[in-house]
Structure 1
Amino acid sequence: MSQQLGGQPILILKEGSTRTRGRDAQGMNITAAKAVAAAVRTTLGPKGMDKMLVDTIGDVVITNDGVTILKEMDIEHPAAKMMVEVAKTQDDEVGDGTTSAVVIGGELLKKAEELLEQDVHPTVITHGYRMAAEKAQAFLKDIAIDVKPTDKALLKNIAGTAMTGKSAEASKEKLCDLVVRAVTMVADDDGSVDIENIKVEKKNGGSIEDSEIVEGVLIDKERVHPAMPKKVTNAKILLLNAAVEFKKTEVDAEIAITSPDQLQAFLDEEERMVKGIVDKIVASGANVLFCQKGIDDIAQHYLAKAGIFATRRVKKSDMEKLVRATGATLVSSIDAISKEELGKAGLVEERKVGGEEMTFVEQCKNPKAVSIIVKGGTEHVVDELERAIHDALRVVGVVVEDKKVVAGGGAPETELSLRLREYAATVGGKEQLAIEAFAAALEIIPRTLAENAGLDPIDMLVEIRASHEKGKKTYGLNVFEGKAVDMKAAGVVEPLRVKTQAISSAAEAAVMILRIDDVIASSKSPEPAGGMPPGGMGGMGGMPPGMGGDF
């Protein structure tokens, strides 16, 4: 990029910078984004396949989860990174539908490319897409079905839809039951659900069927002293955020000891102070102690003698879950220990799970924090199970909060596609073309479901569309029978928020990529002469990789 001025070229960009303009820049960005969508497309639906991702050090991840695939892939191209952001947003907001969001985004760009070739200006397309996305949100609210958070059967169906196509499907019944029980337990009275209060512990060994729910908290710690009881029924629990040990003097004090008796007296006093702390704990009536800080050896001995079950260095997050599960108060000072601060649980027990000692806090009266233990044959199975359960938990949580669902199996997309086409006719102008393109792009979902199941996508689309034209709004593709059926009756439902979020974030990303008509990429820094190490002196020369815009 240079201007001529009296025969003298003026360089504006650094030497070696590249600049791609106009149609080329758009083509390049759209191709990159479409490639990302193509990478996850085959994982969509009940018959979707999995991906095996191997990183630079040879670690293997086998997954069907769109966002996991995109996070694990090392994506360099800036436009492709935007598509990864779509998946991440979808995951943060609803936890499921990441593949759908990316696939719709890719298809929107593909349709836009066809319009660009017909010389429709990008701003016309982006305007039309925005109108269509807004209208789609309104149509979705129209076709949403209300649910009651107490409808367990429906919540199980929702969890099932989120797990479909992942390897967790084999024991779907069992896992859906666990997920629904967990979410309904931790839901607050106002209907909000914080999935953080459900702890998922992974353990290799056993089968998926051995997975269980703990109505309370599971802590990856063992008791501090072997003489302590392994099992405490009717537990009164003290949660302490203070060390059970001798307090060292704060000030740098020197103690001059001149005779052995003085030393002995000093040590006795230290022991007496620790015993004093333990006595306070015993006096409160607590028989279980979870301590966030340390418990020293003398204290362990006294606690064991008093028959108290104690663990130390419990994580802060676990302490917060214990507060929710047992109703205890987190005590931060030894002097504040009293009966009123204690929590209750029916049982506190140390058990071996998968060769490790763990502490179970169970039978809590109204636990607002629970744990799920996931078991499976191999590490990869357990990891993928955990991802499936995470998606299901989030999705059930979203439904309990929003109380709205839509049918699955490509039904809402087909319905939206029909309604947007009708809407496009009323708009007129060039925007009409963009809205029609948006409508056509949404059909990529039922189409991909059919393709992944080895069915003829065109036959299937025609059949589903025909059902919708007759007013059967909940009809979608049954990939096992290869025909259009009523998805609501079949129990294939998803939260409304999965769809609204997927369509809005896909449209935003597509619009953003379409508006770019110029890509200016800085050059990589040249190697400094004189054999200096790359990066120059203390990183003064070349920037570390990844800092420049090196595509």
Structure 2
Amino acid sequence: MVFNMQPYGLQSMLKEGHRLLSGLEEAVLKNIDACQELSHITRTSLGPNGMNKMVINHLDKLFVTSDAATIVNELEVQHPAAKILVLAGKAQQEEIGDGANLAISFGGELLHHAAELIRTGLHPSEIISGYTKGINKTIEVLEELVEKGSESMDVRNKDEVALRMKAAVASKQYGQEDILCPLIADACIQVCPKNPVNFNVDNVRVAKLVGGGLHDCRIVRGMVLKHDSVGSIKKIEKAKVAVFVSGVDTSATETKGTVLIQSAEQLENYSKTEEAKVEELIRAVAESGAKVVVSGGAVGEMALHFCERYKLMVLKISSKFELRRFCRTTGAVALLKLSQPNPDELGYADSISVEEIGGTRVTVVKNEEGGNSVSTVVLRASTDSILDDLERAVDDGVNVYKAMCRDSRIVPGAAATEIELAQRLKEFSQRETGLDQYAIAKFAESFELVPKTLAENAGLNAVEIISSLYADHAAGKSGVGIDLDEGICKEASAMKVWDLYVTKFYALKYAADAACTVLRVDQIIMAKPAGGPKRDAAAGMDED
């Protein structure tokens, strides 16, 4: 006798192979666990003494970096709750370009404290309401901590810019910030448009060349192409430039034609006419006043021969992004087919020369006089992974510059702001009466993550440091932070460590939003995964 059991409940609704996790134990706490694991990874990389992580991604590429955005991107996090934190970090990276680590670590810390509150019997909704009050109060207090007079700043003043960049660059390359900041500041100021709000990050390029050391880094007003010129002309000054997108070559006819040739002379003349045609095209380019021909595609042998004869320098730029930037640097118009350019379609460069930097031949395109639209930081270091990390530091610096063009307010760095926030929120939680006061108190406690991590990463005693910070702040010194070199607490203004207000504002906001989103989940329902092999991402993209 066979019992035919009918499925009931959720099983009757979903396909076989689904999973359901619900309730505090299964859903909420498991999610919090996953997020905590993620934030444990990033938090040891927080701050100037942050540890590096070695990440090997799915393509076997090696990353050695303490940049949280890179680490999290390459880890390919699968867990849905941890992904929410990753998205908060990415949002921060998109919005400001720095502070992704703070967003992820702080979000994880908030969830860690939420788990404690849940175990003591608070309902997630009370925690969420407490956290929401906490973040609103934080934003109020953050406004008050802004350094007086920092809202008006001259974004073309190199010292001011370098000062504000220092914290962001030091967190990636501690000890090198005094070399890097002036370089980055220089590069940014050169390409800063009349209205600084329109500053475009893409205009500061990085050329990474192995060999040499940090002291060999320099700035080029213009572009550095990482390859040699085609042909024998290697240097040219004050030249007009013609840019052809599709390559400098004889255009083959589109239809297949058959030619009937009856005598030897006809055969001879047939190839001559082709030669004459190419020569005519190249001569037309030379007569337009252009001294440099830039090709987006292949350069034909015959065309090259005539370019040499007419003393034209030939460059080949195969990436269309690079070509676009080259046009921006020289002010040229990219032409589709090989023909005589109009005078207004030609660009101009002060000098184009092929140099050898550390065994790599590079073409340097300088444009000092014309409006500087692109500047390049030439980075030198001993290995590829150091170069990549230097590039991330430059990237952070440039992004910070962009942020300060929009809002230049600064708050004390070196964990001074965080301790002040923690203290003010603790006082605020004691004035609240509902159950959410416990959540606000935990929100305040979460801020201790920053000084604690900074101290631990620098090998200091975190407990002593935090208690002495609290003592200073209770005495009304709201600008006291940690001096990591000496292992003592002192004024952030004396150490010249400042953080941008917007970086803090968005990082804390995104972290609190992410934490509340994770806490709002009470059931996880997973459908049966589809069968078949995993699909890889589309290939053929360049690094930009």
* TM value normalised by structure 1: 0.88
List alignment gaps of at least 5 residues for structure 1.
526-541
Q: CA deviation at 1:519?
A: 1.8
| Counterpart pick for 2:226 among 192, 205, 220 | 220
CA contact (8 A) 1:148 1:403 kept: no
Query: CA offsets per residue over residues 50-104 of structure 1, 9 Å max, x none?
Result: 2223456754322111122222335332222222222222222222212211110
Residue 279 in structure 1 maps to residue 283 in structure 2: yes
CA contact (8 A) 1:217 1:370 kept: yes
CA contact (8 A) 2:330 2:367 kept: no
- Does the residue aligned with 2:174 lie in a helix, a strand or coil? helix
| Counterpart pick for 2:409 among 401, 404, 409 | 404
Counterpart mapping for 1:427-466 below 5 A:
427-466=432-471
Q: CA deviation at 1:130?
A: 2.3
Distance 1:343 1:59, change over 3 A: closer
| Counterpart pick for 2:139 among 128, 137, 156 | 137
Q: CA deviation at 1:140?
A: 2.3
Correspondence for 1:18: 19
Q: CA deviation at 1:30?
A: 0.6
Query: Letter of the aligned partner of 2:303 in structure 1?
Result: A
Residue 68 in structure 1 maps to residue 70 in structure 2: yes
Q: CA deviation at 1:124?
A: 2.1
CA contact (8 A) 2:244 2:294 kept: yes
Take 2:529 and 2:45, find their aligned partners in 1: how far apart are those partners?
36
Correspondence for 1:47: 49
Take 2:199 and 2:353, find their aligned partners in 1: how far apart are those partners?
28
| Counterpart pick for 2:36 among 34, 37, 47 | 34
Take 1:398 and 1:384, find their aligned partners in 2: how far apart are those partners?
21
Segment drifting more, 402-411 vs 463-472? 463-472
Query: Letter of the aligned partner of 1:184 in structure 2?
Result: I
Residue 359 in structure 1 maps to residue 363 in structure 2: yes
Q: CA deviation at 1:309?
A: 0.9
Q: CA deviation at 1:516?
A: 0.9
- Does the residue aligned with 1:169 lie in a helix, a strand or coil? coil
Query: CA offsets per residue over residues 315-342 of structure 1, 9 Å max, x none?
Result: 2222222232223333334456122222
Take 1:392 and 1:349, find their aligned partners in 2: how far apart are those partners?
29
Residue 197 in structure 1 maps to residue 197 in structure 2: no
Q: CA deviation at 1:506?
A: 0.7
Correspondence for 1:536: none
Segment drifting more, 53-62 vs 501-510? 53-62
Distance 1:258 1:6, change over 3 A: closer
Counterpart mapping for 1:134-533 below 5 A:
134-144=136-146, 145-146=150-151, 147-166=153-172, 168-191=173-196, 192-226=198-232, 229-335=233-339, 337-365=341-369, 366-425=371-430, 427-523=432-528
Take 1:545 and 1:504, find their aligned partners in 2: how far apart are those partners?
35
Query: Letter of the aligned partner of 1:544 in structure 2?
Result: P
| Counterpart pick for 2:87 among 81, 85, 91 | 85
Take 1:193 and 1:441, find their aligned partners in 2: how far apart are those partners?
35
CA contact (8 A) 1:244 1:277 kept: no
Query: Letter of the aligned partner of 2:91 in structure 1?
Result: T
Query: CA offsets per residue over residues 104-160 of structure 1, 9 Å max, x none?
Result: 001111111122123222122212222322332333233233233133223213333
List alignment gaps of at least 5 residues for structure 2.
537-544
Take 1:40 and 1:422, find their aligned partners in 2: how far apart are those partners?
29
* TM value normalised by structure 2: 0.89
Segment drifting more, 69-78 vs 448-457? 69-78
Distance 1:170 1:409, change over 3 A: closer
CA contact (8 A) 1:326 1:364 kept: no
Q: CA deviation at 1:430?
A: 2.5
Q: CA RMSD in A?
A: 2.5
- Does the residue aligned with 2:117 lie in a helix, a strand or coil? helix
Moved over 6 A (4+): none
Take 1:430 and 1:255, find their aligned partners in 2: how far apart are those partners?
92
Identical pairs, percent: 30
Take 2:345 and 2:491, find their aligned partners in 1: how far apart are those partners?
54
Take 1:45 and 1:521, find their aligned partners in 2: how far apart are those partners?
38
CA contact (8 A) 1:293 1:313 kept: yes
Work out the number of aligned pairs and report it. Answer: 524
Q: CA deviation at 1:46?
A: 2.2
